[in-house]
Amino acid sequence: MKFTHTATVAASRDRVWAKLMDIPAAARCVPGVASVRAAGSDKYLGTLAVQVGPVRLVLDGDLVVTARDEKAGTASVKADAKDSRVGGAIRATMALHLSEKEDETELRIATDLAVMGRIGEFGQAVIKRKADQLMQDFADCLARQVMR
Amino acid sequence: MSYDYHEPHSLDDALALLTRFGDDGHLMAGGTATVLLMRQGLLRPAHVVSLRTIDGLSGIARTPQGGLRIGAMATHRAVERSDAARGYSPALVDAFASVATVRIRNQATVGGNLAHADPAQDPPPMLAALNATITVRSPRGERTEAVETLAVDHFTTSLSHDEVITSVLLPPILPGTREVYLKFLPQTADDYATVSVAATLRFADDATVADVRIVLGAVGPTTIRAKRVEDALRGARPTPERIRDAAALVRDEVDPLDDLRGSADYKREMARVWTERALAALTR
């Protein structure tokens, strides 16, 4: 499943970059994220709780910054997480791209999401909608925080 | 998977159990949706609280004002076979009779269906088109809510975990009102709808549309009220051209997903086609 989300931030690219690369702080912008902590260079452990109707997933996993290029304003992030209670896992690779336009910065996140195991029983449509909401909330929250 | 199964004999006992178990408890009515989610492993409650041993939740009767009250534990089949329901609105009976197979309809309940909030179900659009409200009990007392606003997302309602739907109330239908429920099933007769349209329309004395309500199923995260289509018809004479133009507005109101029943674009187009057909049926 592939998605692209964008958010426009009224701040310089440098400021947005600094915010984005502070992973524990940036991750708190994802609704449902709890306890993100560093575990080595560019690796973080964390938990994401997602509720779909009566079903609650608690995704436990790690997030790795696999590439970063401050000059180009690009970074790649890979997240692997599993829910041991329901029995399922997700893998997401995200390509982040910042581009400065006059006094604004556009944040673009291209996500490729794979869903494995029982979580897939929801159906791709519902998962896609939920992931879409999460990523858009993240982009919007980040934009708000930088402007603060 | 193991869980404790509880059969309280009063609503107060059921509410007390739900309060005690919190997130570990799950309320079950007919169980058709809950058991599937449990078998899929998505739902793993420690406690299941059943409503089936509580008396007085399954009646279906006309109200003194000419409306209809359906107990939350009435099965789909009971509504389908109810003279009171048919006397109130044959289209309502059609919507319940459209659900899956008779085996499912014998088990699935009216309240459970609404609480499950599956946007592709048949009864919610028809109940919303008929302006139905639900009565909800919790330890804090009783409240009512419109069926139209109950679902807030896929499988998600505005109900909190300690609230129980006890009945559905349908208001009297004004004279001159027509109702229809259409379900587009391109694959099998027992499938979920690709698109469904529930609509009610009342003519004024001068043959213009006095009121119209159109609610679609299966084309968004919840049922979708087609307010722009309604506005384009209210006060106007529903000529075939006007109906065609009004129905075209539905494409921008729905929010379907690509799935095995078709692409989002296809469903948007089918929403237009079936809205036009529903309106044609009501104005024929």
The answer to whether B43 contacts A128, with C-beta atoms less than 8 Å apart, is no
Same domain, B199 and B147: no
Residues of A in contact with B117 (CB under 8 A): 53
Same domain, B187 and B228: yes
Task: From chain B, pick out residues whose CB is under 8 angstroms from the CB of A126.
Answer: 154-155, 257
Domain span holding position A116 = 2-147
Entry pTM: 0.88
Residue B55 located in a structural domain: no
Instruction: List % helix, strand, coil for chain A (3-state, nearest 5).
Output: 30, 50, 20
Residue B177 resides in a domain = no
ipTM comes to 0.70
The reply to whether B199 and B242 lie within a common domain is: yes
CB of B116 within 8 Å of a chain A CB? The answer is: yes
* Calpha distance B114→B152 (Å, rounded): 12
Nearest CB among A52, A85, A129 relative to B257 is that of A129
Q: Is residue B230 part of a domain?
A: yes
- Cβ–Cβ gap A129/B154 under 8 Å: yes
Q: What is the mean pLDDT of residues B139-149?
A: 98
Radius of gyration of chain B from its Cα atoms, rounded to whole angstroms = 19
pLDDT tens per residue across span B215-274: 999 999 999 999 999 999 999 999 999 999 999 999 999 999 888 889 999 999 999 999
Can you give the pLDDT at residue B89?
98
- Facing B42 at nearest CB: one of A118, A124, A128: A118
Residues B26 and B115 grouped into a single domain: no
Determine, yes or no, domain membership for B175. Answer: no
The string of DSSP letters for A22-83 reads: -HHHHHTTSTTEEEEEE-STTEEEEEEEEEETTEEEEEEEEEEEEEEETTTTEEEEEEEEEE
Number of domains in chain A: 1
Say yes or no: B188 and B263 in one domain.
Answer: yes
**Pick among B42, B114, B259 to test the A interface (most A CBs inside 10 A):** B42
Residue range of the domain that includes B70: 60-170
Q: Is residue B72 part of a domain?
A: yes
Minimal C-alpha gap between A120 and chain B (Å):
10
CATH number at residue B17: 3.30.43.10
Q: What is the CATH number of the domain that holds B271?
A: 3.30.390.50
Domains of chain B: total: 3
Q: What is the pLDDT of residue B55?
A: 96
